[in-house]
Amino acid sequence: MFNNNTDNKPKIIIANWKMNPDSFGETDNLIKIIKKGIKKSDNLKVIICPPAVYLSKIKANSGFDLGIQNIFWEDRGAFTGEISAIIAKNLKIKYTIIGHSERRKYLNETDEMVNLKMQSALKNKLSPILCIGETLEEKKKDVTSGVITNQLKKAFKGISNIKYSISNICIAYEPVWAIGTSKTPSIDEIMSVNLLIKKTISNLYDRETAEKISILYGGSVDSKNAFDFVDKTGMDGLLIGGASLNGSEFARIVNLFE
C-alpha cells in the first residue's frame, strides 16, 4: 500500500493563467492582489504560470516561483514561435507545464511530443508539470485507468533516470471534462487516480520515486472544493485555471493550506 499521508511534502498550488490577462498592467495588478492576499506558509509552494511574454517582468517583481506553460523539445534552432527549455531555464524559470489537454486538443500535441518535451525539460533541469486525464467519451466508456496508465507510460518512455529531479516532478490529473466546466470528479474517483498514478510510476521506476513525485488535481477548482480535493484524496496540491485569474479567490484557495 502507498502512504497516503503526504504531510511531509509541501503542498503545491499552481496558477495556470492560460492566454490571460490581456496586458502587463493587468498582470501586474493580479500579482499584487495575490501577494497581498496570501498569508505566509512554510510548507507551501505557490507557482504562477503566466503567458511566456510576461515571465521576465513578473520574475523581477514578484518573488513567486514561475512556470512556463509550454516548451519545445529542441534546445535551439529554426523553430519559429517556439521556446526551449534552455531559454526558460536561463530566465530562471523553474517549472514547465507539459501536455496540457488544451494543447493536446487545439494543437494536436501527441503523447510522443509530450515525451520529447519531458526529456528536454529533465535534461535542462526544468521541473515538468505533466498533465494527464481522460476525455468525457473515455470516462463514459469506463477506460479512465487505461488512458491514464498509457499517458504516463508514453510520457516517461525512454526516461531512464529521473532520480536527480524526482522531488520536483509534478503530475497533474486533469480530467478533460472537468476543465472550465464546473463539473468535478468525486473524492473517491480522484483518490483512486492518485493511487493509480503512484502504482504506475512505481512499476516504471520504483516505490520511492512514486512517493516523492507530487501528484496534483486540476479541473474546476475553487475555494469551496479546493481543500477536500487535497485533504480527502491524498493529492499533493492543485493546478488551477479560471479561479487563479481572480486574485482574491486564488489567495483564498492558497490560504486554505496554511
Any idea which residues carry the catalytic annotation?
100, 174
Nearer to ligand PGA among residue 185 and residue 205 (C-beta) = 185
Q: Tell me the closest approach of the beta carbon of residue 1 to ligand PGA, in angstroms.
A: 29
Which residue number has the CB closest to ligand PGA?
241
Minimum distance from residue 38 beta carbon to ligand PGA (Å) = 18
- Min dist CB 78 to ligand PGA, Å, is 31
What's the rounded Cα separation, in Å, for the pair 225 and 223? 6
How would you classify residue 223: left for phi > 0, otherwise alpha for psi between -120 and 50, otherwise beta? alpha
Tell me which residues touch ligand PGA (CB under 6 A).
16, 174, 179-180, 218-221, 239-243
For β-strands 95-98 and 214-218, DSSP reports them as unpaired
Q: Which is nearer to ligand PGA, 205 or 218 (CB)?
A: 218
Q: Which helix (H) or strand (E) holds 127?
A: strand 127-132
Query: Taking the CB of residue 6, how many other CB atoms lie within 10 A of it?
Result: 18
Nearer to ligand PGA, 104 or 198 (CB): 104
State the Cα angle at 156 between 97 and 188, rounded to 5°: 70
Nearest C-alpha neighbor of 249 from the set 28, 34, 14: 34
Q: Which residue has the cell 499533493?
A: 236
Nearest residue (CB) to ligand PGA, 128 versus 205: 128
User: CB of residue 60 vs ligand PGA: minimum separation in angstroms?
Assistant: 25
Peptide bond into 50 cis (omega under 30): no
Which is nearest to 49 in space by CA: 106, 8, 103?
103
